[in-house]
Structures are given as structure tokens and as C-alpha cells.
A and B are shown apart, each in its own frame.
Chain A
Amino acid sequence: MFSLLFRTATRFLFPLMIVFSIFVLFRGHNAPGGGFIGGLVGAAGFALYIIAFGTEQARTAMRFSRRLYMAIGLTLMLGSGLVSLLAGDAFMTTQWYSIQIPVLGKLGTPAIFDTGVYLAVIGVTMIILMSLAED
């Protein structure tokens, strides 16, 4: 299924959707958003890519294997819980650091956890979507 209009539009929409998904991810702590929904938006971007260019191209666009996304995501989640052990608190105690990052806000372990969720959701959704698309 080749459509020049759709492909051209996707070229513009895809980066926008990825940027937007990251925006949703980081505004999540105090406002609606977060890792899960951000990951879904990101996956929707890749899904658009699949429809426009096919699974092979989408695979290249993702750069790493989908399982790697999943594994890194899970590692980040686990790691964000372990940080508190270094500080001598119980597992998963939230650690806040006073460093302010422009746009994103205060740095803390919840952001790491959410990033982990984001990556894992992208990985899993893409595994599901690609197996469906390839059938």
C-alpha cells in the first residue's frame, strides 16, 4: 500500500509524535501524563510509521531491538527503586535532588521510573503491533 501523501505526512508527524510523547512522559508527575500514556503515544508514532513504510523500515527507525527497549525499561524501573537503598532508605523510597533541570523540573527517582515504564510500554506495544502487522 503506497501513498505518497500519507508517507510525506508521516515524515512530519512522526518526529512530532515522538517529541510529544516525551513531553507527556515528563509532565506526568504532577499533571496528567506519565510513562504509560507517553509510551503509548510514542508507540502510536511508530505504528504510523509501520502503516506508511512497512515493518522493516519501522524496525530501522527504532534502531534497537524491541526487546532491548523492554529490558532497558525494566532495568530502569528496578534501578529507580534501588537508588534509595544507596541512600539508606527502604526500597522504592522516593529520592529528590535539588538540581533543577529547565523545562523538566526537579530531578528525582520517579522520573527514572516513569522513563522505564515509557521504554517498556514502547517495547511491548511494538512487539504486539509488529507481530500483528507481519501476519
Chain B
Amino acid sequence: MLFLPILIPFAAGILGIFFWYKPNLQRWTTLIGMVALLIVSVMIFNTVWADGIQVAQGGSWVAPIGISLVIDLLSAILLLTAAILGTAVAVYSFGAIGDQRAAYGYFPLLCFLLMGICGAFITGDMFNLYVWFEVMLISSFVLLALGGERNQLEGALKYMTINLIASMIFLIGLGILYSVVGTLNMADIAKSLPDVQNQGMVLPMAMLFMTAFGIKAAMFPLYFWLPASYHTPPPVISAIFAGLLTKVGIYTLTRAFTLMFILHVEFTHTLLLVMSGFTMFFGVLGAVAQNEIRRILSFHSISQIGYMMMGLGLYSVMGLAGAIIYMVHHSLVKANLFLISGVIEHMTGTDSLKKIGGYYKNYPFLAILFALSAFALAGIPPLSGFWAKFAVVRAGLELESLWIVGVALVVGLLTTFSMTKIWAKGFWKPTPEKYAHLVDASARGPVSMIAPIIGLVVITLAMGIFFEPIYTVAEVAAEQLLDPSAYISAVNPQDFTALGGHE
């Protein structure tokens, strides 16, 4: 059962390769795979909610020898988010991805990307995590470069280079970790790290992992690859990247700095907090300066990553709960905004704010969908973003980290400002006369593109309105994170030497 989130996308991807020359069949196998993934994720979430942390040992090997899959509440929540987004994107691709792009293997790659993401969320083994990172990196690189337009290749190259460097740092960290602790099972590392003889190595190791995961998550000062690449591929691909890939980085940061590297909280988490402040601030400044919808959204992603890191850096139940809600909220809303920008591009062929306008007049329904998502992102009550920000800021106030709270509030204001910019220029102002020929008032986005947007907006609204149960879930997840002993005892790593191994 716990293997299914990996196996289902894998099987769907293989089917896609079998039907290489039948794009329509690929569309359906992908959709069926994603829906199956969604159902399985809901079931897993229910199980984890009812019975606590779930563990499966690959190949029936005892931990720490084999690869453990561990699903705690955080993993289950993110798995569910990934499945929701995967389904939305699969539906959206019916309209957005033509046969030409499908001929390059878009659908199998999408499935393999989802496999990598799900794998990273549920693995309990550091090296296995590295493997999932590579799976994600390869498929996302091809997805970025697919179609081979000039700026796409440029973006893909930047993305590939910086991510390969991140992988290398990760690998170096893994090597040191294995030589110091002698195990790669996360629970086993958490168990043995306090007793390691060479304590001087623990902090440098933690810093290596923070750098590697920080690059993946687009943390200050290593975020520059994100705005350089996210706006280049088709919007639907940007959507899945912005929605899920950076979340994997944040997830691994959270996992590493709540489970394993908690011996120097004073230093590491303060550093995370400071970095989160810079990330938020510079991300939003970048957004304010941009003029294309998708570039604005890319820079926003960075500043929002800052809020999630802030929750992690505060390292309290409320902070982490806020960060978890933020991850889910941001995945859905940000992906949705990219999908909407995709509809705009689909209708006019550009997303430059200088060229478009009058969307409110011509497409009021689309405008409302956009407004709801944008306000949710900016944090207007009672939408989901408000509660997520509220929880993080409240946690900051409780711990009396007033400066970070100040930064967060200013950034919130700037976020609203830049969202208003898209609203005012794209939707409100009349269409510039020079580009009037681009706007065709009768043009409509295909149903398959609008339907997932509506679905995501409904989920966002529901998250805002039924906030209490969601916060309860997030709080329990955060408590699980702050108490690694439950995780360790669930995996129950055996003593390696007792199993017949040697030093």
C-alpha cells in the first residue's frame, strides 16, 4: 500500500511509453494514473491520521539495511497535495498540451516527475532521497527543455547547472554523513547522531545539507536559478514546478532540521530564520520589478518560500503548523495562478502586462478566478493565505522574534501590491490599442483548462473557510515533527552490528 504512490505514476509512465504514438491514449492513462494516485493518497492520509506513522521496508529488509518508506502526517499531507495538483495538471494538459509536444514524451515525463516527487516525500532513507532527487531532476530538465525554444534552452541550462551543483553538494554531504554515522537511514541517523564520536563534523554536515536543500528550495542567496527558468516552459509545466518542486526542497529541509540535525538548534534554526527573512524580502522586491505575469509569479514563489522557512526556523508547534499549511496553500494557489496565466497566454499568445488588458471586461469569470487566487496568495482574510500567514506570524510573536514578524508583514504588503499590479494592468485597464488585435472577446479557454482552475479555487476557498479542522491536522503533524522519537520508534532501526554486520 505504501509503495503505491511510487508504483502508480511509474506504471502510468510506462504505459505512456508503450503508447508513444497515441497522444490521446497517453492523456487518458496519465489522467487515470493521477486519479488513482489521488485515491491512494486519500486512503494513506486516512490511515496515517487514524493509526499514526506508517512504515514499510523495501524488499523485507530490516531497517537500516534496506530502504524504509516512512509516511508521517507531513508526508501524507504533501502526498495528497501532490496528487491533487497532478490530477489538476493532467486534466489541464488535455487542452494545453498539443499532439506536437506530446510527441516528445510530455505525458510519461509528467508521470515520472510525479513518481520522483512522491518518492521524495515518503522515503525514509537519505540515499534513496538522493535518487528521487535525480529522478525529479532528469524528468524536470527534459520537461523544461521540451520543444526546444531558445529561451527555454537557456532557462533549462541554468536550472540544470545549479541543480547539479546542489546534487553534488548533497552527495558530498551524504559521503561525510555515512563516514561519520555509518548509516543512511533517516531514523537511524537521528538515533545515532548524538552519540557520534566526531561531534565536530555534525554541524558542517548539517550546513552542507542546508545548502543543497536550500538550492532546491530556492532559499536566499541561492534562488537566482528559479526566476531564470520557471517562466520559460509552457505554463502548465511552470505550474507543476512552482507547485511541487520547491516544496520538495522545503520538505527535505523540514525533515532534515526537525528529525536529524537538531543538536545545534540555536545556530541552525536562527540561520534558517535570518535566511527566511532575506528570502521573503528579496523575492518580493524582484516581483515588484517585473512586468510579465509568469515572471512576477516566479519571484513570488521565492518570497513565499521564505514564509515556510520562517515557520521552520521558529521551530515551535505553531510555526511548523503554519509552515505546513503554507506549503499546501502555496502549492495549490501558485500552481493555479500559473494555470490561469496559461489560459491568458492560450487566448492572446503573450503574458506581458504591457500588451494585455481588459480581461475583466471580456472574461469576468476568469477575472474572478484570478482575483480569488491572487487574494489568497496575498493573504486577504478569509482565504487560505491569510490563515497560513496568520499562524506563522502569530508563532513569531509568541517567540518574540519581532524583527522577522516585521519583515513578514512588510512583505505581505508588497505581495498585495504586486498582485494588484497584475490585476490592474492585466484585468482592469483597457486593452492597449496597439495590441487590440490580440484580444478576441469571444475566445474562451477550453473547458479542460478552466475546470481544474475552478477545482483548485474551490479547494483554496474550502481551506480558508474550514480552517479549524485543517489547523488541527497541521498541528498534529507539527507535533509529530517536533517529537522525532515517535518517528524513530516507528521505523525501529536495528543495531547494525547485532545483525551480523561489522564495524
Contacts and interface: CB of A to CB of B under 8 A. Distances in A.
Interface of A: 65, 67-68, 70-71, 74-75, 78, 81-82, 84, 89-94
A76 to B, nearest CB: 10
Contacts of B10: 74, 78
Given A74-B14, A78-B14, A90 B20 contact: no
Interface string B1-20: 00100010011011001101
Contact of A91 (B13, B14, B20, B59): B59
Interface string B40-73: 0000000000000000111110000000000000
B17 A74 contact: yes
Contact of B56 (A65, A71, A75, A90): A90
A90 B60 contact: yes
A84 B14 CA distance: 20
Contacts of B7: 78, 81-82, 91
B58 A91 contact: yes
A89 B59 CA distance: 8
Interface in B129-171: none
24 contacts: A67-B20, A70-B17, A71-B14, A71-B17, A74-B17, A75-B14, A78-B7, A78-B10, A78-B14, A82-B7, A84-B59, A89-B60, A90-B3, A90-B56, A90-B57, A90-B58, A90-B60, A91-B3, A91-B7, A91-B58, A91-B59, A92-B58, A93-B60, A94-B59
Contacts of B58: 90-92
Interface of B: 3, 7, 10-11, 13-14, 17-18, 20, 56-60
Contacts of A67: 17, 20
Nearest to A68: B18
Contacts, number: 38
Contacts of B13: 74
Nearest to B56: A90
Given A74-B14, A90-B58, A92-B59, 6 more contacts: A74-B10, A78-B10, A78-B14, A81-B7, A90-B3, A94-B59
A67 B17 CA distance: 7
**Residue among A65, A67, A71 with the most chain B CB within 10 A?**
A71
A78 B9 CA distance: 12
B18 A71 contact: yes
A59 to B, nearest CB: 15
A75 B16 CA distance: 12
B14 A93 contact: no
A94 B61 CA distance: 10
Contacts of A78: 7, 10-11, 14
A90 B17 CA distance: 27
Nearest to A123: B17
Contacts of A68: 18
A84 B57 CA distance: 13
A65 B3 CA distance: 30
Contacts of A84: 59-60
A60 B453 CA distance: 47
